[in-house]
Structure 1
Amino acid sequence: MAESLPAQPSFPAPEATRRATAPEDVQELLHQAKYTTSPVEIPKETPLMMLPDGETQAFRHLAHSIVSRTLAHESEYHRTKRPELGQRDWKLLKRQNEISIYKRRAPKIPEQGRTAAQSKRPMALCVGSIAGKLEDALYGVHAKTREEMQVTLPYLSKGHVDCAMLAKLEGASTTDPYRQLSLKWHLADALSEAKIMKLRDLCTLESMGISTDAQGERYAYYLLQSVDFAGCPPPPEDSDVIRAHMMFCCIYRQVPGSHIVDVYAKGMFDLGGDIPSFLVYNSSCTLMLSVLGAMDSAKAKRLTLVALQKADNSVSSSIDDLSTLDLEDFELTTDSSPSGYSNSASSLSAEVANVIAAMPLACFRRATGSPVLGDSHLLSRVACAPRNQLWRPS
């Protein structure tokens, strides 16, 4: 880490907006138009792209620089015992459980040099804590195939429509089983509650892993950064999809001797188009709260794997396509799993049934794409899920 911490970036002032309500007949027309737009072409199966070494190195450097800056700011916040943010400088946008999301209050004197594009990309700050282990935060978002992304994203985004894995740049190692650097594509109905007609898509660089800081303390990081990538060009102007832009970087630290993880994250979500600032902030809050969904996703994945192993009547069965390092082995073959769950399938039957029953229908699919779960015969049908498509790192 650098000897001196970089200065905190200035946060944009919110745009002056007011909420307007359209007449009922206009609202009805908007509602009908939302569901009668032209179908969106979605890449169901996208072959992984191979990038030149120079381009891969550029993406690696970009991810490292963003994570390093965020870690520097988090380290200063951590060093000062994670103080409450002052109400004079910060405005609370949303609080859920132990997570709080803020924006910096507008300065009395407008900042010089801010462009119109910057004003439409307000930065938000997320601080707080979540229950679980450091590894859970990454296990919940870890996905290396389109199928795994479809399982994971419903926990992280209410408006998820579709996705694709574009390229894998780095994978897991013996020292960091959660390491991943990849390019991904997302399609989302980001403003479904506001009845905005067009969908939003994202081309993002995703980076995650576990490391140690200059003081030797372990931390986990997770980054989503919009990038320009020739293999995923923006939709045409006459499309029903608008290219959005985002940045989300989160640092996690385990509270010593507890099952609590401290969270520090910065995020920005630019929806594209002429969108009121209050909707942009709402989207930023939703993005930040995905840290809560990651823990739910991790628990669901782990319990489902236990159920699958019980159905096979073998905890250590071999799978042909397993690599030398496998997150399932890492999570389930230790004496004590990271979240404190028992590795005994028989002791988890009731909990497995309850958790699986609460999962989104899209979470488990046959090879044809039809839902596997969703009725009263959950556990008996879990065995039908294709195990070789569930959460296997490269």
Structure 2
Amino acid sequence: MKGRFIVNPFPTVPLSPSDASQLHDLAKSLVKAGLERYSAFLKNDNRQVDQQRWKLVKSRETARVYMEKPVPGNQDSQDLPSLLCVGTTTGQLEDLMFGVVNPTLEVMRIKASYVDDLSGAAVLANVEEPTLDEPFKSLVVKWMELDIPLHTTSLVKNRDYIYAEAT
């Protein structure tokens, strides 16, 4: 675990009920759009990755992750880049989800101790917390700093992000 991953460097961000509702609606619409793209991949693309549209960014065993290539001539696009994961992995979906869902700083620390890819992270706001009945349903506003190779040489700096994580 990284040395700077000790305390939350930011205070909790207070969200008004209106802000929380808007964030919840945004997360729902993004998840819905992602599921629609996945359905189109299954039905229209016959589960075949279009190499003209998708760039391979990572692979491990039989799973591959692709990033959608930008549309040429569309520099002003506000679209967020999409990722597509194709393939299989051994294990249970529940185990995977417990590795993905980390709605508290303590759980993030545990994950970081195994994965070792973050130099810092914080939960800024919990909009929807998991429950015993729905342990994988959450909406959290987070900050994270990613370790970038060669950051100790001063050639590059670590990158940090504020994002909403919805499951």
User: TM-score scaled to structure 1, two decimals?
Assistant: 0.36
Conserved? CA contact 2:124–2:141, under 8 Å: yes
**2:30 matches 1:66:** yes
User: Which of these residues, 63, 72, 79, is aligned with residue 99 of structure 1?
Assistant: 63
Measure how far apart 1:88 and its partner are. Answer: 5.1
Hey, what's the Cα distance between the residues in 2 that align with 1:141 and 1:150?
Answer: 13
**2:127 matches 1:169:** yes
User: Which of these residues, 29, 50, 54, is aligned with residue 14 of structure 2?
Assistant: 50
Measure how far apart 1:166 and its partner are. Answer: 1.2
Give the percent of matched residue pairs that are identical in Structure 1 and Structure 2. 27
CA separation of 1:87/1:49 partners in 2, compared to 1, >3 Å: closer, same or farther? closer
**Partner SS state of residue 205, structure 1:** strand
**2:75 matches 1:114:** yes
**Partner SS state of residue 114, structure 1:** coil
CA separation of 1:178/1:78 partners in 2, compared to 1, >3 Å: closer, same or farther? same
Alignment length (residue pairs)? 162
CA separation of 1:92/1:145 partners in 2, compared to 1, >3 Å: closer, same or farther? closer
Conserved? CA contact 2:5–2:119, under 8 Å: no
Conserved? CA contact 2:56–2:67, under 8 Å: yes
What residue in structure 2 maps to residue 265 of structure 1? none
What residue in structure 1 maps to residue 166 of structure 2? 207
**2:109 matches 1:146:** no
Measure how far apart 1:71 and its partner are. Answer: 0.4
**Partner SS state of residue 87, structure 2:** strand
Conserved? CA contact 1:150–1:162, under 8 Å: no
Conserved? CA contact 2:144–2:160, under 8 Å: yes
Letter in 1 for 2:112: L
What residue in structure 2 maps to residue 127 of structure 1? 86
Hey, what's the Cα distance between the residues in 1 that align with 2:13 and 2:119?
Answer: 22
Hey, what's the Cα distance between the residues in 1 that align with 2:58 and 2:127?
Answer: 35
Measure how far apart 1:156 and its partner are. Answer: 4.5
Measure how far apart 1:157 and its partner are. Answer: 5.5
Measure how far apart 1:43 and its partner are. Answer: 8.3
Conserved? CA contact 1:167–1:183, under 8 Å: yes
Letter in 2 for 1:133: Q
Structure 1: gaps (5+ residues):
1-40, 209-394
Hey, what's the Cα distance between the residues in 2 that align with 1:123 and 1:82?
Answer: 18
Hey, what's the Cα distance between the residues in 1 that align with 2:104 and 2:115?
Answer: 16
User: Which of these residues, 148, 157, 161, is aligned with residue 198 of structure 1?
Assistant: 157
Structure 2: gaps (5+ residues):
none
**2:121 matches 1:179:** no
Letter in 2 for 1:151: I
**CA deviations over 1:299-352 (Å, ceiling 9, x no partner):** xxxxxxxxxxxxxxxxxxxxxxxxxxxxxxxxxxxxxxxxxxxxxxxxxxxxxx
Measure how far apart 1:204 and its partner are. Answer: 1.3
Conserved? CA contact 2:41–2:48, under 8 Å: no
Hey, what's the Cα distance between the residues in 2 that align with 1:106 and 1:92?
Answer: 14
CA separation of 1:167/1:125 partners in 2, compared to 1, >3 Å: closer, same or farther? same
CA separation of 1:137/1:80 partners in 2, compared to 1, >3 Å: closer, same or farther? farther
- Pick 1 or 2: higher relative contact order, CA cutoff 8 A, min separation 6: 2
**Partner SS state of residue 145, structure 2:** strand
CA separation of 1:94/1:189 partners in 2, compared to 1, >3 Å: closer, same or farther? closer
What residue in structure 2 maps to residue 83 of structure 1? 47
Measure how far apart 1:61 and its partner are. Answer: 1.0
Hey, what's the Cα distance between the residues in 1 that align with 2:106 and 2:14?
Answer: 20
Larger Rg computed on CA atoms? 1
Alignment of 1:1-394 (within 5 A): 44-45=7-8, 46-79=10-43, 83-87=47-51, 89-103=53-67, 110-111=72-73, 113-115=74-76, 123-156=82-115, 158=117, 160-192=118-150, 195=153, 196-208=155-167
CA separation of 1:106/1:79 partners in 2, compared to 1, >3 Å: closer, same or farther? closer
